[in-house]
Amino acid sequence: MTGLSENGPGVTAAIPGGIEGTLTTFAAELRATGIAVQLPEVVDAAEALRLLPVPDYRAVRSALACTMVKDSSQLPAFGLLFDVFFGTGDTIGDGRPAAAPAGGVLGRMDDAGLVAAAEQALRRNDQLTLRRLAAAAVERFSGFEPGRAVAGKLYLSRTLRALDLDGMVERQAADGHAPRQLRRRAEEFSREVEAAIRRTLVNDRGAVAVAQTLRPALPGAAEFLNASPAELRQLDSAIGPLARTLSLRLSRRRGNRHGQVDLRATLRKSVTTGGAPVELRYKRARPPRPEVIVLADVSGSVAAFAQFTFRLLAAMRARLPKLRCFAFLDDVAEVTDVILAAPSLGAAAAQVIADPRLVWLDGHSDYGHVLTRFRENWSRTLGPRSIVLVLGDARTNYQDPHPEVLAALRRQAGRVYWLNPEPARYWGTGDSAAGQYAPHCDRFTECRNVGQLREFVGGLDV
């Protein structure tokens, strides 16, 4: 596999030991990120590289992605780490210049001239020049500090602020250029700047150190409480299948898998045994239809988790006809019809959060009052086939948590599950009543991301 390095420094191992050592280290970093890469995948990747007729950047990237990545949602994280380990040096693997040489015309330009050159290249969509300008802009504007263990976000911010890409787009759009195309070119140029910063960091500190500071989060690992709106939207692809699985698990029939004894069929079968009903025959069991009740905290302390909750409820609502949804702040109200009838998920969320029925005193979470109100108004509908799913952080704002009310609900319902988006190490601290509620639940589970939700669904026994 040494032939990989013959195509230029862009695909040369970024750490000593040759491509074999880099591949092993790369696989270890993928595992640290959450991408399951075991020894057989590493062996397959090495064999794929050996068989490549033209080991350039794109071919190597495709070969490693095919052998090491099993879930398409993991490709962005894989791509970022691949660029760290294999996209370094003065050229990219296919020979395209990736960095501006020291000095030269770009080095002699002043700051204003460099920005003007970038704007002209953006107007012409001159990608080769933009790639060189990105590297020159990073060297000029990023304020790079050798040896500093950072991921480079500050360097990126400084460089983009100096370039003022938004101003470039506005000026060129005013001159009659298509704004959509300009924005797309500006985004591509921004990515070139980011790539140039990564190359600078790798050249300074090595691929392993940079990978550890970057360490991208997989879609399933983004925490609900800290996720940005864009990250929450990315989770939708995972929520759909999980909601389907959760719905199937919650609707699974417990106890006897057969229906009632079919007396006629049993007697007919007994003819072959001299009239003795040796083998019982059963009627076909009817599909189970349990009632699933969801109690969801939509307070500001779990605002991002509430957005995830609405996505989960909407996905489950299409699969569980007897799903009932309740939202609460310091009071509780049923919002099943709102989630079902709203024209969009955003409209449903806005309507629920603004619902005056959720406020009793000041709108701050009061789990004890909410549980009491739910028991007073809706507990008579609970039965052995009812499943209660609570979504919230169990923080009571120092109000009485009334765990005995949850205990009473548990005695009436078939199952009670609680998904808490707060790290378990914080349970029981401050105003957390997690320790008081957990004994009265069949499962009280930390659920900070889709990965943990997947674990909860996989271990669900109903």
Q: Is the pLDDT higher at 375 or at 11? A: 375
Distance separating alpha carbons of residues 249 and 462, to the nearest angstrom = 7
Provide the CA 51 distance to its chain's centre, in angstroms: 35
Residue (of 71, 48, 47) closest to 61 by Cα position? 48
Q: What is the pLDDT of residues 98-129, one digit of tens each?
A: 444 445 667 778 888 888 998 999 888 888 88
Domain residue limits, the chain: 2-86, 104-216, 233-252+288-458
> Residue 333: how many CB atoms within 10 A of its CB?
19
- Specify the DSSP class assigned to residue 296: E
Tell me what pLDDT residue 5 has.
35
Distance separating alpha carbons of residues 143 and 163, to the nearest angstrom = 14
Q: Is the pLDDT higher at 262 or at 286? A: 262
H-type helices in 206-280, by residue range? 207-214, 229-234, 236-250, 263-270
What are the b/e assignments for 64-92, b being 16+ CB within 10 Å? bbebbbeeeebeebbebbbbbbbbbbebb
**Considering the domain 233-252+288-458, what is its CATH architecture?**
3-Layer(aba) Sandwich (3.40)
Three-state SS string across 350-385, please?
HHHHCCHHHCCCCCCCCHHHHHHHHHHHHHHHCCCC
Q: What is the pLDDT of residues 177-217, one digit of tens each?
A: 888 888 888 888 988 898 888 888 888 888 888 887 777 76
Taking all residues of the chain, what is their mean pLDDT, rounded to a whole number?
80
Mean pLDDT (whole number) for 80-91: 69
Confidence band for 290, pLDDT divided at 50, 70 and 90: low
**8 A C-beta contact, residue 419 and residue 427:** no
pLDDT at 256 > cutoff 60: no
- Joined together, the tokens standing for residue 130 give 């933009």
- Specify the DSSP class assigned to residue 97: B
φ/ψ region of 415 (left if φ > 0, alpha if ψ in -120 to 50, else beta) reads beta
pLDDT at 395 > cutoff 80: yes
Tell me what pLDDT residue 83 has.
85
Distance separating alpha carbons of residues 93 and 198, to the nearest angstrom = 16
Tell me what pLDDT residue 404 has.
97
Q: How far is CA 292 from CA 61, 87, 240, in A?
A: 46, 50, 18
**8 A C-beta contact, residue 90 and residue 98:** yes
Q: State the pTM of this model.
A: 0.57
